[in-house]
Amino acid sequence: MMYPFLTLDDGTEIVHSNMGPDGRVKVYLERPDEKDGFHHAVCYLPDYTWEDLAGFSQTDLDRFREVIESTAHLILEFSQEGGFDGAAGF
Mean pLDDT of 62-84: 93
38 three-class SS: strand
Q: What are the sequence ranges of the domains in the chain?
A: 2-84
Q: What is the pLDDT confidence band of residue 81, given thresholds at 50, 70 and 90?
A: confident
Q: Is the dihedral of CA 50, 55, 61, 63 positive or negative?
A: negative
pTM beyond 0.85: the answer is yes
pLDDT digits (tens, 9 = 90+) for 20-71: 999 999 999 999 999 989 999 999 999 999 999 999 999 999 999 999 999 9
